[in-house]
């Protein structure tokens, strides 16, 4: 059985392995011991913290194979980005140039540095070991976060965003970043991405162009990848689009990848998830697979299983094994979402 649970200090070695395997462009997990241990400690504190309104909490979870006790994936949610560290994007806009005298009108795309998503919740740190990328595993790992959002809505910003990895090559070089490196920053993409992941973002405010950038003046290869996703990220983008996430003309400042957004209460899986009461016993035959999550916080657990769910009542039967894995007892509530 695969179970999703909050990360803990003993998961450090597994998290370090994920950071190495995820490669360039996975900014939320730089290969850095101090930062990774700090992320784990922050997550542990967030899961146990009393929250009146979202601030800078981070909920990092792991996917564990209970047969081997091996961590095989991660997923996370930031409660409200930009509350302590600046959270930068480029906003794609349009400037209009018009002259009656010469009868010419031009519309020119621009990129403007902004902090417009400050306070939004963010889906992040989604990674699944390649040996487990089969069946419903990836979908379960990603969509389980929507059950957590639905259950603990008050802990998150009302808008939920996801930054999609932009186009880069096997070496980690980004065609969008090249012009920025040549004319402004002077450091390569991998180093800039790494520093950003460490939270060392002062160089952005100091060195990034402050005035709107005219897209037409960028190299053609840089223009071409604005708003485009890395080939490995396309399935994740399709999944989010099916949930109601849309591109609103915000892109990453380093690789030009799109950021998509949706109001928390408009997310399809948030709306479709149901809270049911548990009965422990022999599970009846079921044809449909569900994501199942308990309603706890520090002891949060989620998994996928075939269970019998009826539209006519709000009860569901779980086997003793499944109930134990989910840390629920008779009469407890769970939240379910059909896969």
Which residues are known to be catalytic?
Answer: 230
Written as six digits, the tokens of 176 are 């969008």
- DSSP for 286-304, please give it: ---EEEEEES-STT--EEE
Using the 8-state DSSP alphabet, how is residue 58 labeled?
Answer: E
Phi, psi of 281 (to 5 degrees): 175, -160
Whole-angstrom Cα distance, residue 205 to residue 327? 46
Q: What are phi and psi of 192, to 5 degrees?
A: -65, -45
Provide the strand spans (E) within the chain.
2-6, 58-65, 70-78, 89-99, 104-114, 121-128, 159-163, 213-214, 246-251, 258-263, 274-280, 289-294, 302-306, 315-318, 333-338
Task: Report, in this order, helix, strand and coil percent for the chain, each rounded to 5.
Answer: 35, 30, 40
CA distance 274 to 208: 46
């Amino acid at each position: 059985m695969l179970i999703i649970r909050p990360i803990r200090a003993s998961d450090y070695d597994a998290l370090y392995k994920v950071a190495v395997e995820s490669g360039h462009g996975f900014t939320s997990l730089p290969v850095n011991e101090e930062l990774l241990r700090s992320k784990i400690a922050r997550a542990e504190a967030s899961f146990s913290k009393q929250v009146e309104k979202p601030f800078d909490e981070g909920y990092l979870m792991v996917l564990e194979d209970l047969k081997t006790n091996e961590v095989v994936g991660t997923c996370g949610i930031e409660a409200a980005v930009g509350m302590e560290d600046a959270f930068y994007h480029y906003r794609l806009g349009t400037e209009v140039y018009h002259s009656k005298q010469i009868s010419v009108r031009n519309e020119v795309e621009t990129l403007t540095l902004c902090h417009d998503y400050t306070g939004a919740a963010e889906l992040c740190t989604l990674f699944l070991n390649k040996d487990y990328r089969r069946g419903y595993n990836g979908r379960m790992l990603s969509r389980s976060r929507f059950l957590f959002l639905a259950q603990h809505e008050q802990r998150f910003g009302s808008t939920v965003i996801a930054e999609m990895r932009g186009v880069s090559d096997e070496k980690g070089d980004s065609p969008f970043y090249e012009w920025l490196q040549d004319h402004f920053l002077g450091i390569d993409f991998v180093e800039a991405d790494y520093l950003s992941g460490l939270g060392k973002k002062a160089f952005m405010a100091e060195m990034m162009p402050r005035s709107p950038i005219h897209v037409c003046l960028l190299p053609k290869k840089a223009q071409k990848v604005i708003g485009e996703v890395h080939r490995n990220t396309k399935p994740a983008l399709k999944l989010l689009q099916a949930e109601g996430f849309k591109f609103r003309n915000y892109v990453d400042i380093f690789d030009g990848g799109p950021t998509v957004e949706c109001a928390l209460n408009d997310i399809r899986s948030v709306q479709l998830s149901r809270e049911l009461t548990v009965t422990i016993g022999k599970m009846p035959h079921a044809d449909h697979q569900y994501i199942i999550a308990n309603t706890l916080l520090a002891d949060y657990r989620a998994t996928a299983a075939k269970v019998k769910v009826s539209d006519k009542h709000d009860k569901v039967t779980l086997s003793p094994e499944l109930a134990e894995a989910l840390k629920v007892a008779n009469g407890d509530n769970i939240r379910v979402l059909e896969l």
